[in-house]
């Protein structure tokens, strides 16, 4: 009989990989898992309670907030505040950093950045949505934690992952020692190890991009899409185009099956649309740990300098061979010419 390993048990077993920590990181990951269960409960009841639809507000990104955006944001911040291992939360839904100035957390060592509910515009039509999170160590040593503690390159992450709320709910994360996936068992209310040592195939047959914006893409991106569509038995093309509209869902699918997720610059988003802190960095860290690759079309995502809390970036992420092939098409050529 196969042993059932819960998320809590697994985290404790991996504690030896972090000699600098004394259990804080383990407790922080546990807190994120608890909040994920609460959010999953509400997502699974969407349609039965008044939590669907537009909340009537606009977030710092200029995007209409859904009721579940606000709910998820509050739940994760509350869990991290109660846990006491996090001194700052930076959320996609809030303009500035949130200092958790409680007696317990004000001297905490860790920073959490989070996209509380990625793909929330899909919740009304029952399409998978998710949460993306990233964890950094605090840099400053005296006084209140500062913005500079948050504006760290992706290479400084100590952990990152996502939760996908779909036909089953999964938490997938890395601490720089590979990638492991846990599926929520509703019968016991625990995340259980279901996908140990996840590895993304080096090549795949899926490209995920919103082709409705095709006319606004740089020429290099258009050329790569055409490459994906041209029949060539030697490279098993044409590839399949599958775009869910939720980064978590698209990347999760490609992690398991192999593929590339693309969100390039466009005429209306010349710096890209996805946020570096909340989406690109954590996903890049995780996919690299699974053997994949993540780039902005010119540079490795994790090496990009961060100067703004809500900084955006284009991203090409997924199977190593597919991303490298895409890079060969000079993906940023039009942007580089303009600059």
The per-residue pLDDT for range 278-305, each reduced to its tens digit, is 999 999 999 999 999 999 999 999 999 9
Helix axes 219-229, 320-327, angle to 10 degrees: 130
pLDDT of residue 225: 97
Residue 309 annotated as binding?
Answer: no
Rounded Cα gap, residues 178 and 118, in angstroms: 23
Residue 273 annotated as binding?
Answer: yes
Residues making up the chain, counted from first to last: 339
The per-residue pLDDT for range 20-73, each reduced to its tens digit, is 656 788 889 999 999 999 999 888 775 544 444 454 555 555 555 678 888 899
Task: Summarize the confidence of residues 208-216 as an average pLDDT.
Answer: 94
Rounded Cα gap, residues 70 and 58, in angstroms: 11
Residue 54 annotated as binding?
Answer: no
Residue 134 annotated as binding?
Answer: no
Residue 40 annotated as binding?
Answer: no
3-state secondary structure of 52: coil
pLDDT of residue 143: 78
Lowest mean pLDDT among 114-123, 132-141, 203-212, 230-239: 114-123
Query: pTM score, two decimals?
Result: 0.91
Sorted by sequence, the CB contacts under 8 Å of residue 50 that are 6+ apart come out as 67
**C-alpha 96: how far from chain center:** 19
Residue 85 annotated as binding?
Answer: no
Task: Tell me the CA distances in angstroms from 231 to 164, 236, 240, 264, one per residue in order.
Answer: 33, 8, 11, 24
285, containing H or E segment: helix 281-289
Rounded Cα gap, residues 6 and 257, in angstroms: 25
At 124, list the tokens. 């009304």
Asked if residue 173 lies in contact with residue 180, where contact means CB atoms within 8 angstroms, the answer is yes
- Residue 194 above 60 pLDDT? yes
Burial of 173-197, coded b for 16+ CB within 10 Å and e otherwise, reads: bbbeeebbbbbbeeeeebbebbeee
Residue 115 annotated as binding?
Answer: yes
Q: What angle do CA 88, 91, 95 make, to 5 degrees?
A: 95
Rounded Cα gap, residues 109 and 138, in angstroms: 5
Confidence label for 336 from pLDDT (cuts 50, 70 and 90): very low
At 312, list the tokens. 């955006």
Question: Which residues on adjacent β-strands are paired with residue 159?
Answer: 135
Strands 157-165 and 169-174: antiparallel
Residue 162 annotated as binding?
Answer: no
pLDDT of residue 26: 86
At 56, list the tokens. 């009537």
Helix axes 67-83, 24-44, angle to 10 degrees: 150
3-state secondary structure of 305: coil
pLDDT of residue 53: 47
3-state secondary structure of 311: coil
Residue 120 annotated as binding?
Answer: yes
Domains of the chain: 7-195 (3.30.540.10), 206-338 (3.40.190.80)
Scan for tokens 């940023």, then name that residue: 332
Average pLDDT of every residue of the chain? 88
Rounded Cα gap, residues 321 and 7, in angstroms: 32
Residue 119 annotated as binding?
Answer: yes
Rounded Cα gap, residues 175 and 259, in angstroms: 23
Residue 117 annotated as binding?
Answer: yes
Confidence label for 333 from pLDDT (cuts 50, 70 and 90): low
pLDDT of residue 167: 85
Rounded Cα gap, residues 4 and 312, in angstroms: 40
């Amino acid at each position: 009989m196969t042993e059932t390993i819960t998320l809590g048990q697994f985290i404790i077993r991996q504690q030896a990989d972090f000699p600098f920590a004394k259990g804080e990181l383990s407790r922080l990951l546990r807190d994120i898992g608890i909040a994920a269960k609460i959010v999953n409960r509400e997502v699974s009841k969407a349609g039965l309670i008044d939590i669907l639809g537009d909340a009537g507000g606009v977030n710092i990104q200029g995007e209409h907030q859904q009721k579940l955006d606000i709910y998820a944001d509050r739940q994760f911040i509350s869990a991290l505040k109660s846990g006491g291992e996090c001194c700052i939360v930076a959320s996609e839904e809030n303009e500035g950093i949130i200092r958790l100035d409680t007696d317990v957390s004000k001297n905490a060592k860790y920073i959490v950045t989070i996209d509380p509910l990625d793909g929330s515009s899909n919740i009304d039509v029952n399409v998978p949505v998710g949460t993306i999170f990233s964890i950094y160590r605090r840099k400053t040593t005296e006084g209140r934690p500062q913005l500079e503690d948050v504006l760290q390159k992706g290479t400084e992450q100590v952990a990152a992952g996502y939760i996908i709320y779909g036909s089953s709910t999964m938490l997938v994360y890395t601490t720089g020692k590979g990638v492991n996936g846990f599926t929520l068992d509703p019968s016991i209310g625990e995340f259980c190890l279901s996908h140990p040592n996840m590895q993304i195939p080096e090549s795949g047959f899926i490209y995920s991009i919103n082709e409705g914006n095709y006319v606004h893409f740089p020429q290099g991106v258009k050329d790569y899409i055409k490459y994906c569509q041209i029949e060539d038995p030697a490279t098993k093309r044409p590839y399949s185009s599958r775009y869910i509209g939720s980064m978590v869902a698209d990347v999760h699918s490609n992690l398991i099956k192999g593929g590339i997720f693309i969100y390039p610059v466009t005429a209306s988003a010349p710096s890209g649309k996805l946020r570096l802190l909340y989406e690109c960095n954590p996903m890049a860290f995780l996919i690299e740990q699974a053997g994949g690759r993540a780039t902005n079309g010119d540079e490795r995502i994790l090496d990009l300098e961060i100067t703004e809390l809500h900084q955006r970036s284009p991203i090409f992420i997924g199977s190593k061979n597919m991303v490298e092939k895409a890079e060969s098409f000079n993906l940023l050529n039009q942007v580089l010419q303009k600059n």
